[in-house]
Amino acid sequence: MDERQLRILRELGELGSVSAVADALLVTPSAISQQLRLLQSTMPVPLTERQGRRLVLTDAGQALAAAAVGVETALERARHAVQEFVGRTDAEVSVAAFHSAGAAFFPPLLHALAGPGMPRLALADEDVAQEDFPRLTRAYDLVLAHRLEHAPPWPATVAAATLLREPLDVALPAGHRLAAKRRLSPRDVAGEPWITVHDGFPVLAVIDAIAAAAGRRPHLAHRINEFAVVAEVVAAGGGIALMPRWTMRPHPDLVLRPLGGVQARRHIDVLCRPERTARTAVRTVLAELRRAAHAISRRDSGERDTGERDTGERDTERAGGSST
């Protein structure tokens, strides 16, 4: 049985004829009769009987019609509860991010949504390989994910929007011989010992591109995903590394230099299951993520303009703070 069939039975008990029910529900009498037959097929006893030319409810039919009132009431309460849930502005919204995105986006989110009536954030770090991010949308409302510029798109099962297209620069110790150059080429860096990420993370594909462009395989000295650790290892002379330009905290002993000759850029995308965006609170958090991304890119643009006038120092002497 379904809600529509129960309502028809209830209306039949109140209105007294199939034609009257059809008029009330704006359907044909044959459609009403068909639904009554389908309902009857699920019951072990007759629900209706003929009295002359009229179809009336049996005792069992009257009992089920009375129960239908409770069913409709419960369903209406359920609909109201869903509408209230969808429309609540202060509902909890769970957000997961890989480490460097969390470091960049979590603080502005917390500040922007701190007032009364705002969504309640439940933040989590999830540093996974690119292919595993879509699965996280089962557990979280919004997922900040990374992928390279020309990587395959996310699967159609998730909704995706790009927040940032972030350059990946070469991080060097401040006293490194290459730090005097404003821009580096694959040949400049291919012979250096590298600190890079584990398999499955987008930075590694850029290392492969450097190898192809330079015609030699770089030496991968260390495999470290956490950029805070990478920054310290670079500063200590353990090698050079690729680090994101924008989602970074300053490190006094490092310089960043842009890399030419290869595509060295990653996307920071926000993923979710499409139905999650029906919630007002989720849409509010999405809007704040976009505002934060805009602020990050505008801030960096201003710094780069100044850095170009000052031989690149202000832009490129930034590194540190978070993982892929």
Domain map of the chain by residue range? 3-87, 92-316
* H helical segments located in 113-238: 133-136, 186-189, 202-214, 227-235
In this structure, CATH architecture of domain 3-87? Orthogonal Bundle (1.10)
Looking from the CA of 180 toward its CB, the CA atoms found within 13 Å total 3
What confidence score (pLDDT) does residue 300 get?
57
Tokens standing for 284? 């509010």
Res. 237: pLDDT tops 90: yes
Q: Give the tens place of pLDDT for each residue, 266-301.
A: 999 999 999 899 899 999 999 999 999 999 888 655
- Average model confidence (pLDDT) for the chain? 87
Pick from 222, 220, 226: nearest CA to 249: 226
149 contacts 267 by C-beta, under 8 angstroms:
yes
Tokens representing 237 are: 């002379």
Q: Are 221 and 193 in contact (CB under 8 A)?
A: yes
**What is the distance in angstroms between the CA of the first residue and the CA of the last residue of the chain?**
52
Residue 70's pLDDT is 83
CB atoms within 10 A of CB 3: 11
Looking at domain 92-316, which of 3.40.50.300, 3.40.190.290, 2.60.40.1180, 3.50.50.60 is its CATH number?
3.40.190.290
Distance (Å, whole) CA 153 – CA 257: 28
Residue 13: pLDDT over 70: yes
CA distances from 14 to 75, 128, 208 (A): 20, 60, 76
Q: Cα separation of 211 and 205, whole Å?
A: 10
Candidate from 61-70, 108-117, 225-234 with smallest mean pLDDT? 61-70
Q: Please answer whether residues 194 and 279 qualify as being in contact, where contact means their C-beta atoms are separated by less than 8 angstroms.
A: no
The SS3 call for residue 307 is: helix
Q: Rounded to a whole number, what is the largest CA-CA distance in the chain?
A: 104
For residues 155 and 93, what is the distance between their CA atoms, to the nearest angstrom? 23
Query: Measuring CA to CA, which residue among 241, 239, 210 is closest to residue 319?
Result: 241
pTM greater than 0.75 (yes/no):
no
